[in-house]
Amino acid sequence: MILVVLPSHLKTLAQVSGDVRLEVQDGATLRSVLDALEARFPMLRGTIRDQVTLERRPFLRFFACEEDLSLASPDAPLPDAVASGKEPFFIIGAIAGG
């Protein structure tokens, strides 16, 4: 079970109040986690990655285990601690404002 932390705007859009727990088949990778997330919440399609190219939207980043995984291969295995649900997988919107 993967624990996914969404930015607040996407929580509102997906109508979830807390973090999301996802069952991922055949190993946890960026691609499989995002596929599972979009399958469960179709309204998130296009908000995290392009619907055609599947490229990450430029103002979003993927963090886990104190690492920036944004530029990792979509098919590279996520850290074991993420795959086991021990550590969350963060989808982060670029900080703007100050």
Partner 1 sequence: MSGVRVLVGTRKGAFVLTADGKRERWEVSGPHFAGWELYHVKGSPADPNRLYASQSTGWFGQLIQRSNDGGKSWEPVGNKFVYDGIPGTHKWYDGTPHPWEFKRVWHLEPSLTDPDTVYAGVEDAALFRSTDGAHTWEEVSGLRKHGTGPSWQPGAGGMCLHTIILDPSHPDRMYIAISAAGAFRTDDGGKTWKPINHGLHSQYIPDPDAEVGHCVHHLAMHRSRPEVLFMQKHWDVMRSDNAGDLWREVSGNLPTDFGFAIDVHAHEPETIYVVPIKSDSEHFPPDGKLRVFRSKTGGNEWEALTKGLPQHDCYVNVLRDAMAVDTLDSCGVYFGTTGGQVYASPNHGENWAPIVRDLPAVLSVEVQTLT
Using CB under 8 A, list all residues that contact partner 1: 7, 9-10, 13, 43, 45-48, 51-52, 57, 59-60, 93-94
Of 51, 53, 72, whose CA–CA distance to 63 is shortest? 72
Q: State the Cα–Cα distance between residues 73 and 49, nearest whole angstrom.
A: 14
- Closer of 13 and 65 to partner 1 (Cβ): 13
CA distances from 45 to 41, 48, 71, 86 (A): 8, 7, 20, 26
If the CB atoms of residues 5 and 60 are measured against partner 1, the closer one turns out to be 60
Instruction: State the minimum distance, in angstroms, from the CB of residue 49 to partner 1.
Output: 9
**By C-beta, is 27 or 46 nearer to partner 1?**
46
